[in-house]
Chain A
């Protein structure tokens, strides 16, 4: 039963994720057509053997654009999650190590504060200050990943601090920083991987939303959200322009979510115990 459940989410999730990651990686060395060359005479052609997904309003190959767009989306989301983890996890560990202390209080209040800001509006503000670019999209998404990881880490670490082996380590004279690194972090790693996958998929959606309103990567770098925005007025003329980028976002996010669920089911010790 549980094995069946595994294969139902883990496998398709992994396949979809791999597919888009592969598309992004391949686009680094090869794409069917150069996405920076426009060919007005061949614009808005429906899917054909030469262009499986058709061509866009400037005559560029949509399949190639989606491959390059995958690169943009994945890069932005991955780095944003990386920022969230790199800052959030140490904060969470530090807060848990001195539970109830001033440090804990400050970190948690600062977290609440960031949570209280409407994220999309802040992203709009950030790009208003620094201009629209992939880098600023990364920062805007990354900032809102910090409290997620800080909270998660703190919560998980708190329950570990009461364990006996931690007490033993304490008695042995290890400092709290060392305990956090050597004993706490490895035990919350699984949780972080699962959450990381979920945040990654949210990051892809956020990047798509930002570039849809024109605040993500700038042309000629292809991005899925901008492809959708550009195709919007042509949707009744040439639906394939809006169909394929939308599907790409949907399938990538779906893949990551399924992968995250699958990983949680197989990594989470509580669930595993519950099943056996």
Chain B
């Protein structure tokens, strides 16, 4: 409580300084986002909101994602990969300190990686670490990681928010008092309202330009609109109501950035449930759905059509939308060929985001036009996980898969849409073992084509990531290569 008062005293002092017309540019920022983190340990939950607040700001990994999705050096300034592709030797930056003043050493790296892959690990992306055979400390600034098999995406994996480096002495309180190595320090969390960070004066790299950062959590889209309009917040990352974007664009007080995400939004079909186990039926659904109407109606035009489960901004992307052109007559014909000339009824289960709820109403109307009746049920996330994801009790569902490079889910026959194709599984195994970039690219393209031609799901659009900010703020990330709000390079223009 005392701490909170002190923190607020600082805010009002800053606010006072700002209001007195001090000549310096503003050095504090209020950034709003929709979801509040459940706790503050990025290595202990799937909640993307944790990374949205802490990734790169407070916590850093051996490697890190750049704004364009490239993998750059992080706490490791360099690394060597052995001939057989199994051993990675990381050289750590010198002079890196945790926010509690202790030094970052190779022991911390070993602790973090071992903790993530331990039997009792609570890491939501444990699969990133299961390929690790051993982690050895060579000297205080050198660490050697040996893999069971060569893995072409290991450096990519180490850039994830779930792979950040934590210290053993602060792990006990990490969920409420995160201590990392980043350019900002955590100061305060008012649950249900906001999280405050301040500049880390002892940062090892390029210091942050802002002195103070407040993350505010506003889940309701209407409230989000009102808060930005009333300038209660300086920026809103991941703005939830695309219908309001034109209003902000027309207002010179604001800048609107519409970036790309890793979120492939799909109409997923239960590949084991009749009649959806029939490829003709799935093909019919793909042709019955008018992507553009969904992008216009649900996302007000923001979103890129996709024809397969792959991000369109990736160099390996193949445009396969032609495989599933909007053609209701063809859809009816295919249904008749499959023996469902009279149509059929199935369920359509929708999680909370508006792309699903709105998209669902439009898709239901489009499917009805070709004779397929859907029973819509709107679910909360917990219910969706239980019924659809775990219980596989669904016909159709709409969901956005936001993990980067996640085409591998099609190689898991027990994954919720239950696509079981031995050819694909073989292809994916080859891909994982391959580390030659050109060969990987060829395999990735084949994988995209295979799932598109099998009409596993109906691929709708790549989710857009709208950010609205005060026109004077510079240095925000436009795209979301991973869930992050990297503020280390953000500043106010005079």
A residues whose Cβ falls under 8 Å from a Cβ of B: 36-38, 40, 43, 57-58, 128, 131-133, 214, 218-220, 232-237
Q: Does B364 contact A (CB under 8 A)?
A: yes
- Across the interface, do A233 and B241 meet the contact criterion of CB distance under 8 Å? yes
With A40-B297, A58-B297, A132-B377 as known contacts, state yes or no: A233 contacts B243, CB within 8 Å.
Answer: yes
Partner of A132, one of B244, B361, B378: B378
Inter-subunit contact A220/B376 (CB<8 Å): yes
CB interface residues, B 354-391, toward A, < 8 Å: 357-358, 360-362, 364-366, 368, 376-380, 383
State whether the Cβ of B296 lies closer than 8 Å to any Cβ in chain A.
yes
B222 in contact (CB, < 8 A): yes
- Interface majority SS (helix, strand, loop, mixed), chain B: helix
Q: With A and B bound together, what is the CA distance between A237 and B366 in angstroms?
A: 26
Judged by a CB distance under 8 angstroms, whether B225 is at the interface is yes
- Quick one: given A43-B297, A218-B377, A235-B222, are A58 and B244 in contact (CB under 8 Å)? no
Chain B interface size, as a band, is: 20 to 34
Partner of A38 from B225, B361, B379 at Cβ < 8 Å: B361
For the complex, give the distance between the alpha carbons of A38 and B290 in Å. 12
Interface centre among B222, B357, B376, B377 (most CB of A within 10 A): B222
Given A57-B243, A220-B364, A237-B243: A128 in contact with B297 (beta carbons within 8 A)? no
Q: Is B66 part of the binding interface, using a Cβ–Cβ cutoff of 8 Å?
A: no
Give the distance to chain B from A117, nearest Cβ to Cβ, in Å: 21
Given contacts A57-B243, A128-B380, A233-B222, contact A220 B297 (CB under 8 A): no
Which chain A residues lie closer than 8 Å to B296 at the CB level?
40
Contact of A58 with B377 in the complex, beta carbons under 8 Å: no
* Bound-state Cα–Cα, A131 to B361, Å: 18
Q: When the two chains form their complex, are residues B368 and A36 in contact, meaning their CB atoms are under 8 A apart? A: yes
**Could you list which residues of chain B lie within 8 angstroms of chain A, going by C-beta atoms?**
221-222, 225, 241, 243-244, 247, 293, 296-297, 357-358, 360-362, 364-366, 368, 376-380, 383
Residues of A within 8 A of B360 (CB): 219
Q: Can you offer 10 A-B residue contacts whose CB atoms are under 8 A?
A: A36-B364, A38-B366, A40-B293, A57-B358, A219-B360, A219-B364, A220-B364, A233-B221, A236-B247, A237-B244
State the Cβ distance, B397 to closest chain A Cβ, in Å.
14
Q: Once bound together, how far apart are the Cα atoms of A58 and B368, in whole Å?
A: 15
Known: A57-B297, A218-B376, A233-B241. A40 touches B383 (CB 8 A): no
On whether the beta carbons of B376 and A40 are closer than 8 Å, the reply is no
B243 and A131: CB pair below 8 A? no
Residues of B near A43 (CB, < 8 A) are 297
Q: What is the bound-complex CA distance between A235 and B368, given in angstroms?
A: 29
B243 touches A58 (CB 8 A): no
Residues of B with C-beta under 8 A to A40: 293, 296-297, 362
Cβ-defined contact, A219 with B221, below 8 A: no
Q: Is the CB of B241 within 8 A of A58?
A: no
Q: Which residues of A contact B297 (CB under 8 A)?
A: 38, 40, 43, 57-58
* A119 nearest CB across to chain B (Å): 20
Q: How far is the CA of A37 from the CA of B369 in the complex (A)?
A: 9
7 shortest A-B CB distances, which residue pairs?
A233-B241, A232-B222, A38-B365, A40-B297, A233-B221, A40-B293, A40-B296
